[in-house]
Structure 1
Amino acid sequence: MSAAEANNVGLEKDVEADRAGAGTNNTVNHTMSAEEHQIAQQAARFGYGPLAHVNTAESRLPAFGGEFQPGLYKPVEGRKFANPAPLGLSAFALTTFVLSLVNMSTRGLTVPNIVVGLAFGYGGLVQLLAGMWEMAVGNTFGATALSSYGGFWIAFGITLTPGGFDIAGQFATSAAPSGAGTPAFNNAMGLFLMGWFIFTTILVLCTLRSTVAFFCLFFFLDLTFLLLGLGYLYNEGGPDTSAPNTKLQKAGGFFGLLAAFAAWYNAFAGMADDSNSFFVVPVAHFPWSATGRARREKTKREQV
């Protein structure tokens, strides 16, 4: 046998060994739960454990809100870009937090113009940029959601800006020269918010297989848009009055606060790791999710 033939035989044996090892690794992946798989991946970084020879850069982890990804996402090792989700979530959370407090008439505040600066700078521009970076890292859901809500805050800020495009002034009457607070303006704002309620409902449906914290963020936001939209459409005393429904506004503000804290929770989950935190933020998985099914299968195996 020549040297070339010997080399070819050796290469064929190596390929067969790699295939056998891959088959073994696939079997290991299917028999481990999601938590065990994550621990094994951590161990594999140091060269030991059942996944020590697995290309972890190609594996996929269970979804959670810190990556703003309702489906399985790729690990961050070797990624050229940082995770933009916590930035977008934080921008959304703070702007929503302030507006929700105004909607609840906290400390007697009833005019939401203080939100204009946040709507343009943080909730609008910064969140829009975060959405564009989500597109760069390959997260379609994150890019769509963060960019859309960034556009929402910019549009909301334009609507509330005195003068400017004079949007509120187009609804002016002799009784309310400023235009804001008139029945026509309230109806238009109600339709504007109901459109965002429909969009958020679509996003809620995409989070049903993710984590509880991620689902709650969009569920609370969905209720916020619904209640605020109805509050503008069904004014106190009937459609001819100028004041939005106070009870619906406060209820929308309450769910807005819940959405803001859920966004901050998911943002913290995306930032906290073993390099900057003493603990990992817990996330609850739905029983019908991939992680929930893995847990049930593990329990069944332990009972056998």
Structure 2
Amino acid sequence: MAVNATPHAGTENARGGGEFLADLSDPTAGRVAMARELASENVRMIADPAPLGLGCFALTTFLLSLFNAGLLPAAGEPIVFGVALAYGGAIQVLAGMWEFRKGNVFGATAFTSYGAFWLSFWAFVTFYAADIPDAGDRATVVGWYLIGWGIFTVIMWVASLRTTAVLALLFTLLAATFFLLGIGDVAPNEALVTLGGYLGLVTAAVAWYACLAGVSASTFGRTVLPNPPLYKL
């Protein structure tokens, strides 16, 4: 969306006169006003961090879901932990911080929270899982952990209904994935875990779609992949 950089003449004169009068009474007031204006302009110039956050989420979800669906042997699961720490965790949290900088409450909450999810997942498996020696107890604890994230995702899903169709679909699938995996661990029911793994793959695909929609819109300068806004419905 193009921004008209030329203000109305009346507005410009009023603002200029106000700053000039302020300078007469307080020599620093004009510099403060200019600094605020530059800071506001810098916020507008920050690149959209959403595609980065979506890419982080998509890849890490994709890898873990391959194991949950039983498509890869469990012996290879450590590959997920490195990605969960670096890309799904740390980088996604950074994307959330940039969303805070842009004033996007929804994006900041989502990316920071799910980045923390991956960091906590990595920390639990790496440092604390061995402290729960019984496999059944460990599965139950992890199950309720996932159900808790499912509840949080439902909260985000409600908010997503005022964003875009793709994001609303993403949070719908993600909530279902968390609940299937969580209930599958608590029950226990391996079929539910497997189903959750396959649904996680679909969730990752939708997140990648949203990522590509954002990146391509920036590089092409136009909408390439449709992602209709729900707030216009």
Same fold per TM (> 0.5)?
yes
Change (3 A) 1:146 1:203: same
- SS of match in other structure, 1:282: coil
Residue-by-residue CA offset, 1:253-278 (whole Å, 9 max, x unaligned) = 11211211111111112112374378
Is residue 103–residue 110 contact of structure 1 (8 Å, CA) maintained in 2? no
**Alignment match, 2:212:** 268
2:187 & 2:218 partners in 1: Cα distance?
50
Change (3 A) 1:275 1:147: closer
More helix by share: 2
- SS of match in other structure, 2:45: coil
1:193 & 1:256 partners in 2: Cα distance?
13
1:203 & 1:252 partners in 2: Cα distance?
19
Larger Rg: 1
2:193 is matched with which residue: 223, 246, 249? Answer: 249
Alignment of 1:1-304 (within 5 A): 79-109=44-74, 112-161=77-126, 165=127, 167-173=128-134, 182-235=135-188, 245-273=189-217, 275-276=219-220, 280-286=224-230, 289=231, 291-292=232-233
- SS of match in other structure, 1:272: helix
1:262 & 1:77 partners in 2: Cα distance?
31
1:146 & 1:136 partners in 2: Cα distance?
13
The answer to which structure, 1 or 2, has the higher relative contact order (CA under 8 A, 6+ apart) is 2
**Paired letter, 1:169:** A
- SS of match in other structure, 2:217: coil
Residue-by-residue CA offset, 1:138-181 (whole Å, 9 max, x unaligned) = 011111110010100011011122xxx3x1222115xxxxxxxx
Is residue 207–residue 214 contact of structure 1 (8 Å, CA) maintained in 2? yes
Q: Give the TM-score, by structure 2 length.
A: 0.78
CA drift at 1:195 = 0.8
2:163 & 2:218 partners in 1: Cα distance?
23
Change (3 A) 1:279 1:202: closer
Change (3 A) 1:155 1:78: closer
**Paired letter, 1:259:** T
**Paired letter, 2:133:** A
**Paired letter, 1:88:** G
- SS of match in other structure, 1:217: helix
Change (3 A) 1:274 1:130: closer
CA drift at 1:281 = 1.5
Change (3 A) 1:250 1:82: same
Is residue 43–residue 101 contact of structure 2 (8 Å, CA) maintained in 1? no
Is residue 113–residue 160 contact of structure 1 (8 Å, CA) maintained in 2? no
CA drift at 1:214 = 1.0
Aligned-residue Cα RMSD (Å) equals 2.7
Unpaired runs of 5+ residues, structure 2, are 10-40
1:233 & 1:78 partners in 2: Cα distance?
45
Seq. identity, % = 41
CA drift at 1:211 = 2.1
Unpaired runs of 5+ residues, structure 1, are 1-40, 48-52, 54-75, 174-181, 236-244, 293-304
CA drift at 1:284 = 3.3
**Alignment match, 1:7:** none
**Paired letter, 1:133:** W
Q: Give the TM-score, by structure 1 length.
A: 0.61
What is the number of residues matched between the two proteins? 202
